[in-house]
Structure formats: structure tokens, C-alpha cells
Chains A and B, each alone.
Chain A
């Protein structure tokens, strides 16, 4: 029998009085009922069974459902509990939601790979991964209630029905509210597994797919929502770290005595790539950070010049040395030989930064004997549910309790544990004092982990009928899947396809950035398709329709966006529309409408339309919000964002020189049409962002006949394209 992970004893709900914690086990483990007023009893039961606790029910009918995923704005705090409540037939108005304990053996999802259990909020996989888990657990909770009433009233379970937290026995005209069942709740001897056919038919959903308010929003409009940066503990001290402005360079501190004498400074802690300062207040820590005198070593990144490296990448692309083949279908070489026309183009993209609004931070408290740790953090979780802290202390993961907080944005950056490990390293030196580590915005930006710079070389062939017969996609860049994701073209009916990645490594810190390689790769693919259509004098949507003829769901999104964008009605003078199709779990087609200031080179996006097929839509308004946000982030990155590196040094430092999209530059509207489907839900958080750059470039091609092939489309690059 598996041993129970630690952390349960600290659960908030155990502190509450009254009610019953209903522990519904997945994987065929019997549910347990424990009175909430008896924490000792709960501990005893938990010690015996590796059980899963998803819900708490009190006598007055209040229901608390636990969310196992991070909430970084994408809506998991609503969509996952909603699925549970749907199958439980709970009255949603009586439901509140809390984060589950961070214990992956209990709350992990097998959605990443069968047999595994991970808590990991990345890749737009949350709803997709937890869809069945939450529904089955909810159905089991309902079954426990039904079984108890059946026994109490001595009627067969099959005669009972439920609706909005009420069990109904029509034959005897009796009904009872869920809360009232608590006093005689009993565990049934057997608990069905609830395979999909025993769950609700999606068409009978009461809450799923309807207009539901997000559970996290009330606290996000009054300042009460807690992010880890908001945590304050007794005796807490503050940590900051000075890191080199060349990634990976090592520090030698030249004025230790002076810094130690600085007001409020408690300790200096050397890290491999930085100097940590712990002080009694944040202002003292920051003041001491300013007076550090550090000699920085060279690193692998020294000498790297981001804007000059493209010529190197072009050489790599042109060399005869093959890289890693990622995809091979048919024979592109043969297709090229017999092609009537060949198109080739290089598409480039500069480094970009996550710019999540809450700078990285964490609070860690380590026990005096260094045997246990508490961690308060906004994290996207990970393969190590304890975020690297056990290894730093050399302790059992059970002795580390992670208190997950809201994330002030994630976008992939918070799936990396560097900041948590740093905080644990400082807290270890300060034990038992809790340490709050804050990255300044400058730290967050200059020591960021960027979306990699890359070059995409596309070679496409058409046959005598103008059909795309071959499509070759070569990616040059650092980070494997970071640059290679999104090269797949399986929805397009192109008989010969080839995808290859060639590595180029420059010592720059890199990480998944919303939609990962899909951004640059869809940009290259979708622009090339428009370049071919333009060359053939064909309409870009009609051209894609024939390519999507074998992918009816993808085609339906294209036809829908054609309709809602009034594609076939010409734009007013000075404007043009551009289209793009993206697969990222869900399937989406987007159309934008732009205009151009030919003097300044500034592109304005006026309208954006999206048609999306994401399977069952759990929370439609939130899916629309994800489309809106994804498009805004796409516009921001395509038109404004750029990290440049000179001799290894990051040239930007804060929002004055790393520009994000602001309100004056947003489109007038973003319209989303969700296509009805009863297929398993697919992720929606990263489908919109990659549409944007290509849709803009395609609109630009329609408007000017010129090609934009280098992200971002800064005014200088736009003016250059116009002159070409």
C-alpha cells in the first residue's frame, strides 16, 4: 500500500468544524467519509488509505471542490470544479473552490502519459487531462449520496434521481437536500468506476457549456486574491539576487564588507550565477543590491550577437550536414524534381520574453533543523511536484509542503523552478526565518528564459495543377521542441512533407513561451501558403479549403471564419484581411483586418475573428476570453516585442524598452465563434496566439504585395519591406 504524502494535516478544510469530508477515491479505491470535526479520525483514515479527496460537503449544503491545477488566468479554478459539480449534480451556487494540496500521487492526472500521475499546468492540457478524472470523481460523489438515501429510505437506487443538490424519489414524492444527507451519509460497499457511458451525456449538461461566472474573479476585483508575492509571515526576511547580464556568467564579489555593512543586510549568499542578499526589509535588500561590485566571468553566451547570428543560421540551413528529421511523409525530393514551381523563403524570429505581470517570487520557510520546508509559490507545477526543494535540502519530498497561490501570469515561465530553488537556497541559510525572494522586473527580464531566436527555411513545390505537392520545413535554433513544436502539417493534404531541426546553441536561457514553437513555425507555414496563393492569384481561404479537404473539422473552422469575418466583402480602402489556420490541440482559423501607416511603418490591427473547434466546450465565456487574450499576446509579440543581445548582454531591462501592447493599440473587436462538438475537450490557451503573426503578414501581403518574414514587424522592418 502506498504511503500517504504529507501535507494533509495542514489542509484548511480539516480545521473547519461541522460537515463531512467526502474522500472519493479514483482507481477503484473506496470512498471514505470522515467527520470534519474529528481531525484525528481523518488523519487516521488518511494514514491507512491512499485516497483522493475532491470535495467537502457540510450539513447546510455548502460544497467545496478542490482544483488540482494552477490558476494563472486560464480558468482552471472554474472549469475543473464545474465538471465535478456537473456529475455530482451539485447546485453550482453552493459551490466554492480551493486549490488541492500539491500531492501528485493523489491529485495528479494521467493525462500526460497513461500510468503516470502529474500535476502540471502546461501545454493547454488541463481540461483535456482532467476531463474524465473530474467527471468520474463527481459521479462517485453523487453515487455515495444516492446510496445513503437509498438505504435510509429503503428504496432502490434506480428510483432516485438528482437535481441541483437535491435527491428526489418521485414514487413517494419525497426529496432531500445534499446537506441534509450528511448526518446519515454512509459508504456504499461498492463504488462503480463510471466509465464514460455511465456518465452524463454532454447534451444533458446542466452547467457545463453554459454561461458561468469565474469563481476567482470576485477576489480579483477587490485586492483579496493572494499571489505568492502577497504572502507575509511573522519574522519574514527579504531576499534579492544579482545575476549577470550575460546568462551563465559567474560572479566574484569585490566589496563583501561594504555590502554586509549596508543597512538591514543579514547575509550574503553566493550562488553559481549570482549573489544573494538577505535583508530585514525589501527596501534594504534592494538598496544593498545597488551597491554590489561584482566581477563577472565570461560564459557561453559571451560574444553572442542576436541580430548578427542569422547569417550563421543561414549557413547552417544551407550546409549539407543534416540535423534531426522530425517528420517525413512521401518523398519531398522527388516532388521537387517533378515540380512545376518551387518556392523558398526564410522566416526569422527574434527572442521574446514572457513578461508575466507578477515578477517571479516565492516564500520559503525551512525548519531550524533543515528537515522540513513550507513553500508558498505561484507555479505551473511540474514533474517534481515539490519544485526542486527536496533536493536542495536533501530531504524526503514528504517533508516539503507546497502552498499553491494564484499566478500573476505564467505563459510557460512558471513551469521552471529556478526561482523556487533560489528561494529555498536562501531560506536554508536563514532557517527558521521565512524568506521572501523577489525578482525585480529588471531581474525577471534580463535573466529571463526566452522564446528562442530561430530561422525557418520553407521550401514548397507545386505541381502542374498548382497544388502544393511538397513542403519542406527546416528549423534552425536552440532548444529542441522549443523551436520544433508546431511544424506538423497533418491537417493539410500535402502528399510529400519533410521537417528537420538543426541545432544552434548560444548559451541563452530559453523556455516554453505561450504556444512554444507554434508561434514561429505557424508564421512560416501560413505565410508560405499565402505567398503561393498570391503568386497563383488565388484567394487564400479558397486555396486552404482544398488543402483541408481531408480534415473536415479543420475545414469547418475555416469556413466559419470566412463567414463571420465577411471575408468575401472587400475591406474599406486602406485595409486588408489576412487568414491563418492553427492546430494546437484545438483547431482554429483566424482572420485579421489591418491598416498601415506607410510613413511611420506602423501596422494597426482593427478586427480579429476566430472560429474554434475545441471539442466539448466546458466554459464558453472563458474560452472566448482565452481567444481574446491569446490574440492580444499575439499582436503584442508580432508587432512590438523583441529581446536583442549584444556580446552576450541583454539590451532591454524593463517595460520602457521592452514594449508590450497597450490599450491604445488594441483591435476594436475580437469575435470568437465556437463550433459545437461532443468530442473530448482540447486545450484552448495556445491556439489563438500563433494565428496572429501569420494573419497580419498575410493581410500585409494582400494590402501591399510585400512580404514580412521577420518577427517582430517593427516599423523599421515594415518600411524596409515596403521598399523591397
Chain B
């Protein structure tokens, strides 16, 4: 079986997997980074959202062989060293999660959104977050958390 080098959360991982293996299974089952979740396998729910070179992507539909050329992959575990990303703090402040299963994907998608647009409108938030499902219905608190994080960051930067 082929051997791949993956750059994940600023660490290099070596993994042996068949060509065509979903990056999601590699991240979760081969490497044990289980914060990224399996939800649908067809990029419809967004629970597996990760960043590849800072772009949010659905890991379930990516194939491992296309991501071993030095692309920088980031998962929820690598979002902030002490889990103190402004979004993570805001998520706690808003008491957003219920079951929590979709929240890694939500936070990763939101982090990409704020990178691109530090002060999104409510409609922009809804449109950019629309691909991530939450069955518990925490959407309003997710929006609140994103707004808290955005406003805290703007304040911090003066």
C-alpha cells in the first residue's frame, strides 16, 4: 500500500493507505484526530469540515493522495493551541452546543469565514454557515457566538 505524508496541524504524519481512501477516515481512524466527524459522506452535512491551506473543505469527499504535497491541513484539534481561539471562547460564552457532534465542523467553517471577513453581517453568516447541519437546532446560538467572536476581535484590534 502507498505511503503518504500529511501536514496536519503543523505536524507531519505518515500514513499507509490505499489510493482513494477518504481523507476523513485517514484523519479519524488512521491518525486518531477524532474531533473531525463523519456525518453523511457526501459533503451535505459539514460535520467533517477542515481547512486545507486555510480553505474550508469537507474531508469526507477528499482523497488522501491529493493532499500529501505539502498542503497545510488544519483540524479542530489544531485550531488554537490551548483551545482558546476567539470562536471557541465565544462558543462557550453563547453556550452554543447541545449534543456537540456537529460543532467541530461549525467552528471550522466559522473560523474560515472570519478569516475571510472579520465582520460578517447576519446574512453573510447564514449564507456561509448554511452547509453545516445541526440537528439539535443550535443555529441561533452559533450565530450569536460568531457575532461575539467577531466583535471581540474587532475590539481587541482597536
Is B a genuine binding partner of A?
yes
Majority SS at the chain B contact face: loop
Q: Which of B25, B77, B79, B132 counts the most A-chain CB atoms under 10 A from its CB?
A: B25
Whether the Cβ atoms of B138 and A625 lie closer than 8 Å is yes
Bound: A282/B21 CA distance, A = 10
Asked whether any CB of chain B lies closer than 8 Å to the CB of A39, the reply is no
Contact between chains at A408 and B138 (CB < 8 Å): no
Contact, CB under 8 Å: B95 / A357: no
B98 touches A656 (CB 8 A): no
A253 at interface (Cβ–Cβ under 8 A)? no
**Residues of B with C-beta under 8 A to A662:** 130-131, 133
Contact A223 B38 (CB under 8 A): no
Contacts of A632 in B (CB 8 A): 134, 136-139
- In chain A, residues 357-384, which have Cβ atoms closer than 8 Å to a Cβ of chain B? 357-359
Task: Determine if B44 and A661 form an interchain contact, defined as CB atoms under 8 angstroms apart.
Answer: no
Most chain B Cβ neighbours within 10 Å, of A225, A227, A410: A225
Q: A411 contacts which chain B residues (CB < 8 A)?
A: 135
Instruction: Tell me whether A629 and B138 are in contact (CB under 8 A).
Output: yes
Of the candidate stretches B65-73, B99-107, B150-158, the one touching chain A is B99-107
Provided the pairs A283-B22, A628-B141, A662-B130 are in contact, do residues A217 and B91 lie with their beta carbons within 8 angstroms? Answer: yes
Q: A-contacting residues of B (Cβ < 8 Å)? A: 17-18, 21-22, 25, 28-30, 32-42, 44-45, 47, 75-77, 79, 83, 87-88, 91-92, 95-104, 107, 125-127, 129-143
A216 and B99 alpha carbons, distance in the complex (Å): 9
Is B138 touching A656 in the complex (CB atoms < 8 A)? no
Stretch of A268-276, A320-328, A584-592, A664-672 at the chain-chain interface: A664-672
**Is A357's CB under 8 angstroms from B76's CB?**
no
A75-91: CB near B (< 8 Å → 1, else 0) gives 10000000000000000
Taking CB atoms, residues of chain B closer than 8 Å to A219 are 100
> What DSSP secondary structure best describes chain A's contact surface?
loop
CB of A358 within 8 A of CB of B139, answer no
Across the interface, B101 reaches (CB within 8 A) one of A227, A654, A663, namely A227
When A232-B32, A283-B18, A629-B136 are in contact, do A221 and B101 touch as well, CB less than 8 Å? no
Other than the given A229-B38, A283-B22, A357-B47, 16 more pairs (CB < 8 A) read A217-B95, A223-B104, A232-B34, A356-B135, A357-B99, A408-B100, A441-B41, A441-B42, A442-B41, A625-B141, A632-B139, A654-B40, A661-B137, A666-B126, A666-B140, A670-B140
What is the CB-to-nearest-CB distance from B98 to chain A, in angstroms, rounded to a whole number?
A: 3
A655 interface residue (CB < 8 Å to B): yes
Q: Is the CB of B99 within 8 A of A358?
A: yes
State the 8 A-B residue pairs at the shortest beta-carbon distance, nearest first: A223-B35, A632-B137, A73-B98, A408-B101, A220-B100, A73-B99, A230-B34, A629-B137
Partner of A408, one of B30, B75, B99: B99
Q: Are B88 and A222 in contact (CB under 8 A)?
A: yes
Shortest distance from the beta carbon of B17 to any chain A beta carbon, whole Å: 7
Segment 187-245 of A: residues with Cβ below 8 Å from B: 213-214, 216-227, 229-230, 232, 238
Asked if A663 contacts B37 (CB within 8 A), the reply is no
Report A-chain residues with C-beta under 8 Å of the C-beta of B97. 73, 214, 216-217, 220-221
Chain A residue numbers with a CB within 8 Å of B133 are 357, 655, 660, 662
* Set of chain B residues within 8 Å of A218, measured between Cβ atoms: 83, 92
Q: Is the CB of A167 closer than 8 A to any CB of chain B?
A: no
Most chain B beta carbons < 10 A, residue from A221, A263, A441, A625: A221
**Minimum Cβ distance to chain A for residue B83 (Å):** 4
Asked if A74 and B75 sit within 8 Å, CB to CB, the answer is no
B47 — which chain A residues lie within 8 A by C-beta?
357
Provide the residues of chain A in CB contact with B142, threshold 8 Å: 663
Q: Does A630 contact B (CB under 8 A)?
A: yes
A window 651-702: CB within 8 A of B:
654-656, 660-664, 666-667, 669-670
Residue of A nearest to B83 (CB): A222
The answer, yes or no, to whether A714 is at the interface (CB within 8 Å) is no
Q: For the complex, is A423 an interface residue (Cβ under 8 Å from B)?
A: no
* Measured CA separation A263–B19 after assembly (Å): 13
Minimum Cβ distance to chain B for residue A697 (Å):
20
Q: Give min CB distance, B128 to chain A, whole Å.
A: 9
Docked Cα-Cα span, A628 to B138, in Å, equals 7
Query: Do A281 and B37 form a contact, CB below 8 Å, given A220-B100, A222-B83?
Result: no
A483 within 8 A of B: no
Q: Which residue of the partner chain A has the closest CB to B26?
A: A283
In the assembled complex, A406 has its CB within 8 A of some CB on chain B: yes
In the complex, what distance in Å separates the CA atom of A73 from the CA atom of B100?
7
Quick check: B77 and A214 within 8 Å, CB to CB? no
Given A223, A225, A281, A621, which contacts B29 in the complex, CB threshold below 8 Å? A281
Residues of B within 8 Å of A227, CB to CB, are 37, 101
Find out whether the CB atom of B135 lies under 8 angstroms from the CB atom of A221. no
Contacts of B126 in A (CB 8 A): 663-664, 666
Task: Name the A residues within 8 Å of B131 (CB-CB).
Answer: 662
Please tell me if the beta carbons of A663 and B129 are within 8 angstroms of each other in the complex.
yes
In the complex the two chains form, is B38's CB within 8 Å of A621's CB? no
Report if A358-B45 is in contact (Cβ < 8 Å); known contacts: A409-B135, A628-B140, A660-B133: no
Q: C-beta contact mask, A251-262 vs B, less than 8 Å → 1, else 0?
A: 000000000000
- In the complex, the answer to whether A282 meets B25 with C-beta atoms within 8 Å is yes
Q: Which residues of A contact B37 (CB under 8 A)?
A: 227, 229, 357-358, 408
Contacts A283-B18, A663-B126 given; indicate if A221 touches B99 (C-beta within 8 A).
Answer: no
- Binary contact readout A167-196 vs B (1 if CB under 8 angstroms, 0 otherwise): 000000000000000000000000000000
Q: How far apart are the CA atoms of A359 and B41 in the complex, in Å?
A: 11
Determine the chain A residues whose CB is within 8 A of the CB of B35 once the complex forms.
222-224
Q: Kindly provide the distance from the CB of A76 to the nearest chain B CB, expressed in whole angstroms.
A: 11
Q: Determine the distance from Cα of A569 to Cα of B153 in the docked complex, in whole angstroms.
A: 39
**B36 and chain A: residue at smallest CB distance:** A223
Chain A 615-652 near chain B by CB (<8 Å), digits 1 or 0: 00000011001001111110010000000000000000
| A217 and B92 form a contact (CB under 8 A) | yes
CA A656 to CA B25, docked complex, whole Å: 21
Residues in B neighbouring A358, C-beta threshold 8 A: 37, 39, 99, 101
From A359, A654, A655, A667, B38 is in contact (CB under 8 Å) with A359
Are A281 and B34 CB-contacts (below 8 A) given A222-B88, A408-B100, A440-B41? no
A222 with B21: in contact, given A73-B136, A357-B134 (CB under 8 Å)? no
Closest Cβ of chain A to B58, distance in Å, is 12
Among residues of A, the one whose C-beta sits closest to the C-beta of B87 is A221
Chain B positions within 8 Å of A409 at CB level = 99, 101, 135-136
Contact check, A225 vs B100: say whether CB atoms are below 8 A apart.
Answer: yes
Q: Is the CB of A441 within 8 A of B40?
A: yes
Considering only residues 407-426 of chain A, those with a C-beta below 8 Å from chain B are 407-411
CB distance from B10 to the nearest CB of A (A): 16
Are B29 and A232 in contact (CB-based, < 8 A)? yes
With A654-B40, A655-B40 in contact, do A357 and B138 touch (Cβ < 8 Å)? no
Query: What is the CB-to-nearest-CB distance from A78 to chain B, in angstroms, rounded to a whole number?
Result: 10
For this complex, 7 residue pairs linking A to B, each with C-beta atoms less than 8 Å apart, are A214-B95, A217-B91, A221-B103, A223-B75, A283-B22, A356-B99, A357-B45
- The interface centre, meaning the residue of B34, B91, B104 with most chain A CB atoms within 10 A of its CB, is B34
**Nearest neighbor of A216 in chain B, beta-carbon distance:** B100
In the complex, chain A residues whose CB is within 8 Å of the CB of B40? 441, 654-655
